[in-house]
Amino acid sequence: MNQITSQLSPSGLVAILRGLEPSEAEAVGECLYASGFRSLEVPLNSPEPLRSIEILRSALPADAVVGAGTVLTIDQVRDSHAAGSQIIVSPNTNVGVIEETVALGMGSFPGAATPSNAFDAIGAGARNVKIFPAEQVGITGFKAWTAVIPKEIRLLPVGGITEDNMQTWAEAGATGFGIGSSLYKAGRSLKDLKTRADKLVLAYQMINAMRESV
């Protein structure tokens, strides 16, 4: 089994639930879990995000990972941890946020837009780096990253990822993906969400199957 295969499964596909309301958290979480998602992120600029994190963590099986996104401060890290968050995702590289996340035993997913950001994150203890915005970095730029970032570090592009371009990113060295508006938007029906989730998970599984056959 090669490096990409081992790191893609099972939690490398992260559902970004920006705008999630606590009243829909359980139904949305169960819908995504049924499709095969095992990592869910509630950005803190959503309505009552900590409550949604609590609900998701309570409603979903133990093999699901629930976390907070758009985390910018150490206090937010602590509040998210208290709500049951298991991972902390940020749009930026904040060494203090990363160090506090690691100290509390949570997975750190800091955002990085340059290799320098990524190495700052790694130096602070992160073992997962969110490539953000992925559309700006681009495939060619990302390939240059993979030439210098240690192989044990998981690289997850976020921004513009769909079932149509996931394979291209994986071939360039991605070891996971954050999926936002192509999956979830506030007000989207559960039927639509399920259809989108199924397509994304299928594409993800096909990548794993192809890697395992190599």
Nearest of 31, 30, 34, 38 to residue 14 by alpha carbon: 38
Q: 14, 41 in Cβ contact below 8 A? A: yes
Nearest of 117, 134, 84 to residue 97 by alpha carbon: 117
Chain CA centroid to CA 109, Å: 7
Burial pattern 157-188, b for ≥16 Cβ within 10 A else e, equals bbbebebebbeebbebbbbbbbbbebbbeeee
Catalytic residues: 41, 130
